[in-house]
Amino acid sequence: MIGVNLLRGCLVALIPLIQSLALIYFLLLLISMIGAFFGPSSNVYITKLVPQENRKRFNSIMSMTNSGAFLLGPALAGVLIMAFGTDICIWINSIAFLICAFCLYLLPNVDEKREVREPKRWKTIVDDWKTVKAFVVRARFFMMIYLLFQTAMLFGFALDSQEVTFIKQNLHLSDQAYGLIVSITGLGAIVGAAVATMLAKRINLKWYLGGGLFLTMIGYFLFYSSVNFLTATVAFVFLGFFMAFANAGYATFFQNQVPVHLMGRFGSLADMIQAVIQIVLTLLLGFFAEWFSLQMVCLLFSIVGMVVALNLLVKITRTSKASFFEESGEGISK
């Protein structure tokens, strides 16, 4: 994680010095590729560092800080760009990566012993994926819930790609109105994450995961059913509020159920597959929107997401599956 932030900080610092647009695009691609290592690594670190009974509250707090950054980041960037120009702002971003690397250096080392692994050869990679496959076959309930959650969220991500078009084409709102809707939605997400943090000890994990996801999908449906600025804003605030619960619930469930030594490999493979599916779904949504009404296609996608989320909610509320959502002791993967 430290290495990833150092590399990204150095590469970002080079952007203002480059005149070639093609080279800038290549550098951004490289930065994104390096950044892909951070997510799985940080997830493993968090799982090792945070006790299982505190993970839901921690993930809720992290969701709140991420939402706050999403809301305040663009506003702060706009002020800095007006005051200092884009080059200085990019270098400030570079310095932020370096500061992050230093902060990570100050964190405790959670690896009690370093695993000695043979050099990466083709056989080693094949053995790694065989290990992941064995876990997937064994953890059937986890995989079912994981696939249902990710399927619903992938439909949501595809719908996100059409929100600007819908607001301008169907609601006939301005860019300023869209910016205001996004800002208010960010506030809703922050409030949702704050409430999720306060209720972490009182509401079971399965309601965070299943209930939060189902209500999030309802939020997408309400948004694409909206007829004016007010209804679109209310729907987006509703969506952002409950997405904070869904994200915290999913992160906690994932950390509790996936063995730490497999988490990085499983997460990396899953992220790659999900990225491909997300691209396909986004292209399909755009393709169908050219043939039919954008609102009708988006409502259809949101209904599919709601059905998938409802299916997940029904499955996880079964009494026989209660042990999978215990928040003390070791996670159960069957």
Asked if the structure places residue 176 within a domain, the reply is yes
Asked if the structure places residue 39 within a domain, the reply is yes
90 contacts 12 by C-beta, under 8 angstroms: yes
152 plus 253 within the same structural domain: yes
The confidence score (pLDDT) of residue 334 equals 40
97 plus 157 within the same structural domain: no
The confidence score (pLDDT) of residue 320 equals 66
Tokens of 190: 């922050």
175 plus 305 within the same structural domain: yes
d(CA 189, CA 194): 8
The confidence score (pLDDT) of residue 216 equals 92
The confidence score (pLDDT) of residue 112 equals 59
d(CA 90, CA 75): 15
Asked if the structure places residue 328 within a domain, the reply is no
Asked if the structure places residue 130 within a domain, the reply is no
Asked if the structure places residue 61 within a domain, the reply is yes
193 contacts 71 by C-beta, under 8 angstroms: no
Asked if the structure places residue 89 within a domain, the reply is yes
pTM: 0.77
86 plus 195 within the same structural domain: no
User: What residue numbers bound the domain in which 293 lies?
Assistant: 135-319
Asked if the structure places residue 34 within a domain, the reply is yes
229 plus 154 within the same structural domain: yes
Angle, to 10 degrees, between the axis of helix 38-49 and the axis of helix 260-291? 130
The confidence score (pLDDT) of residue 98 equals 93
Domain closes at, from 106, 127, 160: 106
d(CA 267, CA 270): 5
Tokens of 244: 């904070």
96 plus 169 within the same structural domain: no
252 contacts 211 by C-beta, under 8 angstroms: no
Tokens of 25: 């695009």
CA angle 163, 166, 168 (to 5 degrees): 110
Tokens of 306: 């709601």
Tokens of 253: 């469930």
Length of the chain: 334
Handedness of CA 79, 81, 82, 83 (dihedral sign): positive
The confidence score (pLDDT) of residue 10 equals 92
Asked if the structure places residue 121 within a domain, the reply is no
d(CA 209, CA 56): 10
Closest CA to 146 of 329, 269, 39, 284: 269
d(CA 173, CA 226): 12
The confidence score (pLDDT) of residue 102 equals 93
101 plus 141 within the same structural domain: no
216 plus 279 within the same structural domain: yes
DSSP string covering 30-95, please? HHHHHHTTHHHHHHHHHHHHS-GGGHHHHHHHHHHHHHHHHHHHHHHHHHHHHHH-HHHHHHHHHH
107 contacts 50 by C-beta, under 8 angstroms: no
- Domains held by the chain: number: 2
d(CA 233, CA 146): 30
235 plus 152 within the same structural domain: yes
262 plus 142 within the same structural domain: yes
164 plus 313 within the same structural domain: yes
Q: Return per-residue pLDDT of the chain as tens, 334 residues.
A: 899 999 999 999 998 888 888 888 899 888 888 887 887 788 888 888 888 788 888 888 887 777 667 666 766 776 777 777 788 888 888 999 999 999 999 988 877 555 555 555 666 667 667 777 787 788 888 889 989 998 998 888 888 888 888 888 888 888 777 777 877 777 778 888 888 888 878 888 888 888 999 999 999 999 999 988 899 889 988 988 888 888 888 888 888 888 877 777 777 777 777 788 878 888 888 778 778 888 888 899 899 999 999 999 998 887 666 677 776 654 444 4
177 contacts 167 by C-beta, under 8 angstroms: yes
Tokens of 297: 């296609």
144 plus 235 within the same structural domain: yes
55 contacts 256 by C-beta, under 8 angstroms: yes
Residue 241: CATH number of its domain: 1.20.1250.20
The confidence score (pLDDT) of residue 217 equals 93
